[in-house]
Amino acid sequence: MMVKEQRVTKDEMRRVNGILAVAALLLLGVGCGGGSSSHTNSNTTSNTNTGANVQPITVNAGPAGNYANGAFTSVTVCTPGTTTCQPIDGVLVDTGSSGLRILSSALTGVTLPQQKAASGAPVVECLPFVSGFTWGPVESADVQMAGEKASSVPVQVINDTAYPVPTACANWGASQGTLSSLRANGILGVGLLAQDCGERCVSTGASNPNFYYECPASGCVVVGEALSQQVANPVALFSSDNNGVIIELPAAPNPEATLSGSLIFGIGTQSNNAIGSATKYAVDNFGNFTTVFKAPGSSTSQSYSSSFLDSGSNGLFFLTAASSGIQDCADANFFYCPTSTLGLSAVNQGAGGVGSGTVNFSVANADSLFNNFSNDTVLGELAGPNTLAGFDWGLPFFYGRNVFTAIEGKSTPSGVGPYWAY
């Protein structure tokens, strides 16, 4: 179950005139505060891979115009079995979750059939993220990207008003049911899992995380959801190139206005998706590996076993200010604000000893980044604390790397997924 994004809004970066952050570590923004940028580069740095299995992605401000370190793409959804289709732009590419989620407000040109439970009641999903949730009906769509197509894919249509939000769902925090809150027209979850929940959601009971509900007129109640009915990673349902994805983005040593790259479908299935010399990192049953890190000023290294790669997070999120020794920002304590840029390193270790490598990274003062580069959306040195027992290697980690995400149960030249490689 990979639903660990950490994202912060532009408004949350500001604590002006008594306005406080509403939902820390939830949705991201491009900047805070005024001031002119000292960085005048308005060029787009690009990566020009092509092929029928290559979907363009772009790091930009997103459809709401205030996103930083967000990789967006376009997804075409169709009424199943028909040519009635709609391309939807501004969809966030996310290796930290699985499944396609689209705002109902963005679905203006296509009607999708509602999934129903055995009782005949509509099925609705609550998907929790770090500090919030998406709520909305499960519907069926044909999904097209590049030259690939998946038929009759269960997707979530995000809509807070179609059905009353149950208390158990609302307890996850703030709803992300509008463009102003989600800051994207949808989320394309291309993570390690074939479905967004798996066996835990098949039967009701204590182990069920309460993702799926049937919603008759009397109210919504938790329901068991078969694997084939769960919101699915659409890549896993392609007829080919269906064993994983690669995110390719150029290096971004300095802030940039935008950055163009590729989402490549398949691992070792075509000449443009060979794993080559990339190191494979095995994961545990929770999709995690270990990061070994010595915090600034510390004499010893510590191991953090709940680490993961998440293109849906807009920074490198690790430890707390107290444990990392890095000052957080006075006006937004969900980002780090060291007095000068820090050059740091850590070692990632795959589960069971499969994969090991050093990661060099930098942490800059977030206030300075947002104030001095207010026109830029690519900020490779943006970082902050988290409350997880591991490193959330967000989108800045992906800059300058080809990152492979192998889907569970799918065969690849480097073994059966799930695993990450880079």
HEC string for the chain: CCCCCCCCCCHHHCCCCCCCCCCCCCCCCCCCCCCCCCCCCCCEECCCCCCCCEEEEEECCCCCCCCCCCEEEEEEEECCCCCCEEEEEEEEEECCCEEEEEEHHHCCCCCCCECECCCCCEEEEEEEECCEEEEEEEEEEEEEECCEEEEEEEEEEECCCCCCCCHHHHCCCEECCCHHHHCCCEEEEECCCCECCCHHHCCCCCCCCCCEEECCCCCCEECCCCHHHCCECHHHHCCCCCCEEEEECCCCCCCECEEEEEEEECCCCCCCCCCCCCCEEECCCCCCEEEEECCCCCCCCEEEEEEEECCCCCCEECCCHHHHCCCECCCCCCCECCCCCEEEEEEEECHHHCCEEEEEEEECCHHHHHHHCCCCCECCCCEECCCCCCCEECHHHHCCCEEEEECECCEECCEEECEEEC
Q: Give a yes or no: residue 355 inside a domain.
A: yes
Q: How confident is the model at residue 129 (pLDDT cuts 50, 70, 90)?
A: confident
Q: Give a yes or no: residue 243 inside a domain.
A: no
Higher model confidence: residue 13 or residue 122? 122
Decide: 334 and 385 in contact? Cβ < 8 Å. Answer: yes
Q: Which of 204, 220, 237 is the endpoint of a domain? A: 237
Q: Give a yes or no: residue 1 inside a domain.
A: no
Percentage of the chain with pLDDT > 90?
Answer: 85
Quick one: 173 and 209 in the same domain?
yes
pLDDT at 3 over 60: no
Q: Give a yes or no: residue 223 inside a domain.
A: yes
What phi and psi, each to the nearest 5 degrees, are found at residue 225? Answer: -125, 120
Quick one: 226 and 331 in the same domain?
no
pLDDT digits (tens, 9 = 90+) for 391-418: 999 999 999 999 999 999 999 999 999 9
Number of separate domains in the chain: 2
Quick one: 206 and 278 in the same domain?
no
Quick one: 346 and 214 in the same domain?
no
| CATH classification of the domain holding 182 | 2.40.70
Is this prediction's pTM over 0.85?
yes
pLDDT digits (tens, 9 = 90+) for 226-263: 999 999 999 999 999 999 999 999 999 999 999 999 99
Quick one: 268 and 412 in the same domain?
yes
Q: Give a yes or no: residue 402 inside a domain.
A: yes
Decide: 313 and 7 in contact? Cβ < 8 Å. Answer: yes
pLDDT digits (tens, 9 = 90+) for 332-374: 889 999 999 999 999 999 999 999 999 999 999 999 999 999 9
Q: How confident is the model at residue 18 (pLDDT cuts 50, 70, 90)?
A: very low
Q: Give a yes or no: residue 4 inside a domain.
A: no
pLDDT for res 131: 64
Domain limits for position 331: 262-421
* C-alpha neighbours within 13 Å on the C-beta side of residue 385: 20
Q: How confident is the model at residue 15 (pLDDT cuts 50, 70, 90)?
A: very low
Percentage of the chain with pLDDT > 70?
Answer: 88
Quick one: 415 and 279 in the same domain?
yes
pLDDT at 375 over 60: yes
Nearest-CA neighbor of 379 among 392, 366, 360, 393?
366
Quick one: 89 and 170 in the same domain?
yes
Q: Give a yes or no: residue 366 inside a domain.
A: yes
Quick one: 49 and 137 in the same domain?
yes
Mean pLDDT computed over every residue of the chain: 89
Q: Give a yes or no: residue 242 inside a domain.
A: no
Least confident of 64-78, 123-137, 238-252: 123-137
Decide: 67 and 314 in contact? Cβ < 8 Å. Answer: yes
The residues, ordered by sequence, that sit 6+ positions from 302 with a Cβ below 8 Å of its Cβ are 292, 293, 294, 295
Quick one: 339 and 414 in the same domain?
yes
Quick one: 224 and 344 in the same domain?
no
Quick one: 232 and 271 in the same domain?
no
Quick one: 116 and 222 in the same domain?
yes
